Amino acid sequence: MFHIACHGGSASSPSHEDGPRRACVVGLEKLSLTTNVLDAVIAATRWLEDDERFNAGTGSNLRLDGVTIQMDASCMTSAGDFGAVAAIERVRHPVAVAQRVLDTPHVLLVGEGATDFARRGGFEDYDPTTAGAKERLEQARAMTDRVGPWSRSDLEQAWNFDTPLREALGGDTVGSVAWDGELFAGALSSGGTTTVLRGRVGDVPLPGCGLYVGESGAVATTGDGEDIARSLLACRAYLELERSGSPPRVVDWALEELPKSVDVGIVVVDHTGFAGGARDGMAWHGQSATGPA
């Protein structure tokens, strides 16, 4: 059996589940053509990067300067391969650049070096700024200008826009994990958050933080990046998968592992199937299909 699970980020609306569902179909179609599990999760994640409803690729968030969009992406396989880019700019599919890093001796390229690497690899200049990104920026600016710096809890209590705060500040990491009957693979992509410094790197490109893949399965997390990175959540969730052998149990474990104030979501795939979930709900989908005989 092939198994794949995709998510649109912990801040994504569950009503947008059609996006991850279609990404799963794209990934399974790729698997049926190539039987390459890494290519499958890259294809699925690229689909999500092109969906403006999610915070990755074309759906990425502008920073407070109103100009800068910096993106992170990573990919990993159960064969031990890991490639990532951080704070990359002006590319359409950061996750595809992360996959290309696997062709180098490195595991992570950052900033201008990552962007230059993409150009030399044939990735064309692309401006991911959208009308939605501009609207989210203006809403964030309105709150900042009116009352100054906020904690997340204070923002949630005072928020008075029609658009929910989580949507106004932009979604989170998108991700895909899959099993092709022999190997596991996972991929993540994120457009970051508006209210961060230029050059900020979240959990996505850091091994074992947002993504971890091993012989027992694949884990992709999403949520508050600094908290996820500090806790090495993906790696620890994978170790929990090794112990329990149950994706649903791992999801329950992850959602209880961090403080209640932390936004967190997760999808998990192992040999038997998949599971996913988030504290506040998110768009995600899992699917299985019969592999080649």
Q: What's the half-sphere exposure (Cβ side, CA atoms, 13 Å) at 123?
A: 23
Select from 214, 79, 54 the least CA-distant residue to 136: 54
Q: Look at the block and give the residue holding tokens 């904690």.
A: 151
Give the pair of three-digit tokens for residue 84.
């990532």
Which conformational region is residue 177 in: left (phi greater than 0), alpha (psi within -120 to 50 degrees), or beta? beta
Hey, how many other C-beta atoms are within 10 angstroms of the C-beta on 249?
15
Given 45, 115, 173, 194, the catalytic residue: 173
Q: Distance (Å, rounded) from C-alpha 173 to C-alpha 150?
A: 22
Catalytic, 173? Answer: yes
Catalytic residues: 173
